[in-house]
Structure 1
Amino acid sequence: MTNFAEQMKQHFKQNSKTKEHSAHTAKVHSVAWNKDGKKLASGSYDQTASVFTLDRDRLTREFSCKGHTDSVDQLCWNPTNSEVFATASGDKTVRVWDGRSGNCTSTINTKGENINICWSPNGQSIAVGNKEDLVTFIDTKTFKPRAHEQFKVEVNEITWNNTNDLFFLTTGLGTVQIYSYPDLKLIQSLQGHTANCICIKFGNRGKYFATGSADAIVNLWDLSELVCVRTFSRLDWPVRTLSFSHDGLMLASASEDHFIDISCVETGENICEVPCDSPTFTVAWHPKHRLLAYACDDKDKYNRDTGNVKLFGLSNESSSSS
């Protein structure tokens, strides 16, 4: 695996270019690729989502999705349909969008200001969490709430495992709580961090998941054993966002540090650092290529949000465009 790390170091020496793309008029909270990697969506404080198409190494903004009346805090694509995604907003709704037209196809009213959202791997459910630590489960056949679960701990991020039978949440206690699904019985609480556990992400291979915390630590967990097998500690600020590469061999993590850390999953070795001028709150590896989408809290010379989406991993020889 050391050979892999060396290969990737060389790869990113030759493919270290980043392009910026105008996406929003305010801070970008979330970026996510669709299943086939042909589209990227972003959600923003400006109450909209934007959809881009990817042609080789170029992102082209197709349209803006309007309808929310508050910040779009997080979004996710349907893992079984490359043309459908959902957004969670502080306006107490979840909206489902057609990724081809930008039209809203469903609006689901929820009980609070929504801050996190995920789509089940089988495509049958959406889970959305609000500021009061209530998680609502939405049936994607009817797009109506099927169940509500009020948690007694601060819930930061939620996700299913890849096989859809476990539901995970990161908590303000520094733990990862694991529930059976769909009956939501607590199976285990993993004490992985010494401070607020903020984010969680599963690798595509289903072998590992990673958690990031306010203790500035990223933990890599073996899913079958539910033990922490590796720790990444290159960041100095709370870890806000994580993403595994398509092959599950690289992990990107970001924070208020002015770089994104890219590490080798199997060895913990540093592969690359992506320089940033400001805090980074969302990263997403492309599902097929070594391209990393991300967004920072960048400002222009007038201290206004730039609202840009960035794409790293482009050939140093490619022509400049935005």
Structure 2
Amino acid sequence: MDFYLGETFILTFGVPEVSDVIAMADHSSDAGDSSNDGDISSVMGFSGFGKKARTFDLEAMFEQTRRTAIERSQRALEERQKQEIEESSVSRPVSHTEKPSTSMSRKQEADSSSSSDSDSDVIGPPLPPQKEEDEDDDEDVVGPPLPPGYKRSTADSDDDDDDDDDDDDNPVKKIPDTHEITLQHGTKTVSALALDPSGARLVTGSFDYDVKFWDFAGMDGALHAFRSLQPCECHQIRALQYSVTGDVILVVAGNSQAKVLDRDGFQVLECVKGDQYIVDMANTKGHTAMLNDGCWHPKIKEEFLTCSNDGTVRTWDLTSEKKHKSVFKPRSLQGKKVTPTCCTYSRDGKLIAAGCQDGTIQIWDRNLSVHTKFHCRQAHAPGSDTSCLAFSYDGVTLASRGGDDTLKTWDIRSFRKPLNVVSGLTSFFPMTDCCFSPDDKLLVTGTSVRKDEGNGKLLFFERQSLQKVYEIEVADTSVVRCLWHPKLNQIMVGTGNGLAKVYYDPVKSQRGAMLCVVKSKRKEKHAETLTQDYIITPHALPMFREARQRSTRKQLEKDRLDPLKSHKPEPPVSGPGRGGRVAAHGGTLSSFIVKNIALDKTDDSNPREAILRHAKEAAENPYWVAPAYKKTQPEPLFAEEEDEEEEGDKDQPEWKKRKI
């Protein structure tokens, strides 16, 4: 096929390629001859390649945009001045006819110029006129567009934004402390607290060796625990924590073997005890000394962590109870063994942190147990027990509660010196802890007091500067444990006198303690006691023995069978009405007689006696039969019973006579 373009021949075979067509189009555009378009249209079968591509002058567009922005700012300034003048001259009316007219003219000019520019430069269909006007008004408004016919109230939106900003800027308003309930665990220090992830159950542990289970949904106003047990016999409870899924509980006590219980308190796992005669603790299967702390992995539900006085931090697997999973050995600057007093995982579970007795904080990578990844030698005073380490929710900040009465925050990325320090926070217990608020803006810890020397307080610090922003006076004793549950938005506190307090706000909190405070107390059941003192004399003669006294429980069971004492309700009426009760049977006379008289079996008397009961009255006052036959009836003669018996005895032989 031959194409003739100007004075150039192009020989092609078959269907022309796209590149060839584009080349021909470029060649024809350079020639600028109108006849070429006609030749192409006659050869290719279409009129042309469409409209000419639009070119954009960027400098002109930038200049136009700058000019429009200046006009808008001037317009806003004029409107602001107009409002100020109106507010200042409320008593004196002022004419504003000239300025709005000028602003309107400017607006019309801007609209005309923008419309002309949009016709020349903007690609696409033009915007509706109402939309263009609304764009200028709603330019700075944040939020979804309103439907047509509605106007946005700037004053209300500004007020709402201010309120939201105040709530966001002031995290103190989010503290739920308007209401509280008190759970009586015992008389000794509540040394451990744990809430399951859903917030349905609370577990408390104490120095009295008891672990008590509290169910918010099942408790009434009496606030009693539904189960109490001693999982580790005579060892103080050091730490309790629910797993990520909430189905098992880690129990760390004063012995060397941690235990795992299910939700009902039954044992699932007991860690193995190591060989205390082996020097290298990495070669033993478990801990050989008292445990100090423990926690679950935040991501893996089968893994947990413990630290002990044997100088090791060990990880365990719930599926294998015969040996630990890995061992981390804290070391001092001289390479000597150091006792870890607290341990925890980072929020992502990749780091393991331990606070040691020499005041150091050592952090390892979970998969590398030999060398520390972060190490601070002088985090707290040497010889003081670091009681708690807590990571923030964003995983960047680490808070440490030291035995030197301080609270410090650290940045993991620069771990050489603390970000902020608060001193003077008295701590008498080796498990005084700290925690972050759910919004990650506050840091909470408790203080200890001596007896009759004041009240223990729950202190709230701003996370960035550690400025004290709020405090709660809990009781006239030390505040040992504190826990702020993110889902319930409730604060649990364990005190030194055996109380566990729950702080909540009916507006800001949900479920938890709010479920049980609305329930009335159940009636107390009488204890099973004897009615009177009973003296057991097994060797006494029967005539001198006392009858065995029944307990109140058996007496109650016996009274239960008595329909009068147990107030048994009357059964439904199956027959005709009795005693004023009406049945649903037929109302005819025959049915009444059959049901009420013929089938009435309540009279169990002898029928002969029932007839003879009227014999005397019939003999004295005859009325029906006797008067009619009085003249013709002969006098009845009755044989005497004694004579018959005697005659019978005479006729009978001697051996058949009765023996009297």
How far apart, CA to CA, are the structure 2 residues paired with 1:187 and 1:157? 18
Contact 1:2 1:267 in 2 (8 A): no
Contact 1:215 1:238 in 2 (8 A): no
How far apart, CA to CA, are the structure 1 residues paired with 2:436 and 2:380? 20
2:373 matched residue in structure 1? 187
Identity %: 17
In the alignment, structure 1 residue 170 sits paired with structure 2 residue 342: no
Larger Rg: 2
Pick from 198, 202, 206 the counterpart of residue 391 of structure 2: 202
2:472 matched residue in structure 1? 274
1:313 matched residue in structure 2? 504
Contact 2:308 2:341 in 1 (8 A): no
1:114 matched residue in structure 2? 291
SS in 1 for 2:483: strand
How far apart, CA to CA, are the structure 2 residues paired with 1:297 and 1:121? 29
Closer, same or farther: CA 36–206 of 1 in aligned 2, 3 Å: farther
How far apart, CA to CA, are the structure 2 residues paired with 1:18 and 1:314? 8
How far apart, CA to CA, are the structure 2 residues paired with 1:6 and 1:24? 40
Contact 1:5 1:264 in 2 (8 A): no
TM-score if structure 2 supplies the norm length? 0.43
2:230 matched residue in structure 1? 66
Instruction: Write 1 or 2 for the structure with the bigger share of strand.
Output: 1
Closer, same or farther: CA 91–238 of 1 in aligned 2, 3 Å: closer
Alpha-carbon distance, 1:74 to partner: 0.9
How far apart, CA to CA, are the structure 1 residues paired with 2:314 and 2:424? 35
Closer, same or farther: CA 115–24 of 1 in aligned 2, 3 Å: farther
SS in 1 for 2:226: strand
Contact 1:28 1:308 in 2 (8 A): yes
Deviations along 1:201-227, one digit per CA (max 9) or x if unpaired, are: 112222322001123221112233335
Alpha-carbon distance, 1:126 to partner: 1.4
2:254 matched residue in structure 1? 90
In the alignment, structure 1 residue 229 sits paired with structure 2 residue 419: yes
Closer, same or farther: CA 68–315 of 1 in aligned 2, 3 Å: same
The alignment yields a C-alpha RMSD, in angstroms, of: 3.0
Contact 1:157 1:198 in 2 (8 A): yes
Alpha-carbon distance, 1:87 to partner: 0.3
Deviations along 1:271-302, one digit per CA (max 9) or x if unpaired, are: 3212131112211111224321111112xxxx
1:214 matched residue in structure 2? 403
How far apart, CA to CA, are the structure 2 residues paired with 1:4 and 1:208? 23
2:309 matched residue in structure 1? 131
Alpha-carbon distance, 1:2 to partner: 9.4
Alpha-carbon distance, 1:233 to partner: 3.4
SS in 2 for 1:193: coil
2:457 matched residue in structure 1? 259
In the alignment, structure 1 residue 241 sits paired with structure 2 residue 418: no
How far apart, CA to CA, are the structure 2 residues paired with 1:5 and 1:194? 36
Deviations along 1:152-185, one digit per CA (max 9) or x if unpaired, are: 1131101111222221111122221111213212
SS in 2 for 1:9: helix
Alpha-carbon distance, 1:238 to partner: 6.2
Equivalent residue pairs, number: 310
SS in 2 for 1:41: strand
How far apart, CA to CA, are the structure 2 residues paired with 1:249 and 1:46? 35
1:304 matched residue in structure 2? none
| Counterpart amino acid of residue 253 in structure 1 | T
Deviations along 1:63-108, one digit per CA (max 9) or x if unpaired, are: 22433112211112112x1121110112332111112x22222222
| Counterpart amino acid of residue 116 in structure 1 | D
Q: Which segments of 5 or more consecutive residues in structure 1 lack a partner in the other structure? A: 299-306
How far apart, CA to CA, are the structure 2 residues paired with 1:282 and 1:225? 29
1:146 matched residue in structure 2? 325
TM-score if structure 1 supplies the norm length? 0.84
SS in 1 for 2:493: strand
Contact 2:171 2:442 in 1 (8 A): no
How far apart, CA to CA, are the structure 1 residues paired with 2:446 and 2:397? 18
Q: Which has the higher contact order (CA 8 A, sep 6+)?
A: 1
How far apart, CA to CA, are the structure 2 residues paired with 1:244 and 1:171? 22
How far apart, CA to CA, are the structure 2 residues paired with 1:235 and 1:5? 28
Pick from 493, 498, 507 the counterpart of residue 294 of structure 1: 493
Alpha-carbon distance, 1:46 to partner: 2.3
How far apart, CA to CA, are the structure 1 residues paired with 2:344 and 2:499? 26
Alpha-carbon distance, 1:320 to partner: 9.0
Contact 1:263 1:271 in 2 (8 A): yes
Q: Which segments of 5 or more consecutive residues in structure 2 lack a partner in the other structure? A: 1-163, 274-287, 331-336, 450-455, 508-513, 522-660
How far apart, CA to CA, are the structure 2 residues paired with 1:262 and 1:2? 20
Range 123-132 or range 222-231, more displaced: 222-231
Deviations along 1:240-279, one digit per CA (max 9) or x if unpaired, are: 2111122222211123142111122134332321213111
How far apart, CA to CA, are the structure 2 residues paired with 1:224 and 1:36? 33
2:148 matched residue in structure 1? none
| Counterpart amino acid of residue 192 in structure 1 | A
How far apart, CA to CA, are the structure 2 residues paired with 1:247 and 1:296? 25
Instruction: Write 1 or 2 for the structure with the bigger share of helix.
Output: 2
In the alignment, structure 1 residue 23 sits paired with structure 2 residue 178: no
Range 238-247 or range 163-172, more displaced: 238-247
